[in-house]
Amino acid sequence: MKLNPLIKCGPLCLVVLMACKKSSNPPAKVISDTTATAITPQKDPTTATSIGFFLNDWAPKTFSAPNDSIVTQPVGSASVTVNVDYSTVVTKVSKYLFGNNTNPYMTQIVNQPTLLNNITALSPHILRFPGGSISDVYFWNGVVPADAATNFYDTNGNSIAAGYWLGNNTASWTLSLDNYYAALQQTNSTGIITINYAYARYGTSAHPDQAAAHLAANWVRYDKGRTKYWEIGNEDDGPWEASYKINVTQNQDGQPQIITGALYGQHFKVFADSMRKAATDVGAQIEIGAQMVGTNPANAWNSVDKTWNSGFFTSAGNYADFYIVHDYFTGTDNETAATILNTPTTESAAIMSWMNTTTSSGGVPLKPIALTEWNIMAAGSKQMTSYIAGMHATMVLGELLKNNFGEASRWDLANGWSNGDDQGMFNQGDEPDGVAQWNPRPAFYYMYYFQKYFGDRMVSSTVQGGNGDVLSYASSFTSGEAGIVIVNKGTSSQIVGVNITNFAPGTKYHYYTFTGGTDNGEFSGKVYINGNGPGGANGGPAGYSTLAASASAMQSGIKVSAPPRSVIFLVADGKK
Cα torsion at 180, 186, 191, 197 (round to 10°)?
0
Contact assessment for residue 486 and residue 465, using Cβ atoms and an 8 Å cutoff: no
Same domain, residue pair 241 and 359: yes
- Quick check: is 53 in a domain? no
At 351, the amino acid letter reads I
Residue 363 · residue 313 · CB < 8 Å: yes
Length of the chain: 576
Q: Give the number of domains in the chain.
A: 2
336 and 443 share one domain: yes
Give the model's pLDDT for residue 212: 98
Contacts of 543 (CB under 8 A, 6+ apart): 532
For residue 75, what are the contacts with CB-CB under 8 A and spacing of at least 6?
none
* HEC readout, 457-525: EEEEEEEECCCCCEEEEEEECCCCCEEEEEEECCCCCEEEEEEEECCCEEEEEEEEEEEECCCCCCCCC
Q: What is the pLDDT of residue 351?
A: 98
Residue 559 and residue 431 share a domain: no
Same structural domain, 314 and 257 = yes
| Beta strands 151-153; 138-139: pairing state | unpaired
The rounded distance, in Å, linking the Cα atoms of 190 and 96 is 9
Say whether both 440 and 503 belong to one domain.
no
Find the domain containing 430 and state its range: 95-453
Query: Domain end: 412, 428, 453, which one?
Result: 453
Residue type, 560: V
User: Last residue of a domain, which of 389, 423, 453?
Assistant: 453
Among 516, 546, 493, which residue's Cα sits nearest to residue 392? 516
pLDDT of residue 576: 82
SS3 labels along 385-432: HCHHHHHHHHHHHHHHHHCCCCEEEECCCECCCHHHCCCCCECCCCCC
Instruction: State the pLDDT at residue 131.
Output: 84
Over residues 167-203, the pLDDT tens digits come to 999 999 999 999 999 999 999 999 999 999 999 999 9
**25 and 145 housed in the same domain:** no
Q: Are residues 373 and 470 located together in one domain of the fold?
A: no
User: What's the per-residue H, E or C state across 225-263?
Assistant: CCCCEEEECCCCCCCCCCCCECCCCCCCCCCCCECCHHH
CA distance 454 to 481: 10
Predicted confidence at residue 20, as pLDDT, reads 34
220 and 348: one domain?
Answer: yes
Rounded Cα–Cα distance for residues 536 and 522 (Å): 18
Whether residue 434 lies inside any domain: the answer is yes
Give me the CATH number covering residue 554.
2.60.40.1180
Coil vs helix vs strand at 124: coil
**50 inside domain:** no
Q: Is residue 4 part of a domain?
A: no
Residues 509 and 417 occupy one common structural domain: no
Rounded Cα–Cα distance for residues 460 and 232 (Å): 36
Indicate whether 218 and 144 sit together in one domain: yes
CB neighbourhood size of 150 (10 A): 12
Distance CA 191, CA 100 (A): 10
CATH of the domain at 187: 3.20.20.80
34 and 112 share one domain: no
Residue 443, H or E segment: helix 442-453
Give the DSSP letter of residue 15.
H
Q: Is residue 416 part of a domain?
A: yes
Of residues 93, 58, 24, 47, the one with CA closest to residue 450: 93
Kind of pairing between the strands at 138-139 and 494-501: unpaired
**Interatomic CA distance for residues 320 and 496, integer angstroms:** 45
569 in the same domain as 449: no
Domain final residue, candidates 428, 453, 478: 453
Q: Assess if residue 366 is contained within a domain.
A: yes
List of residues 6+ apart from 2 with CB closer than 8 A: none
The predicted pLDDT at position 94 comes to 98
* 359: enclosing H helix or E strand: helix 343-361
Distance (Å, whole) CA 533 – CA 442? 10
Given a cut of 70, the residues of the chain with pLDDT beneath it are 1-36
| Cβ atoms of 196 and 177 closer than 8 Å | no
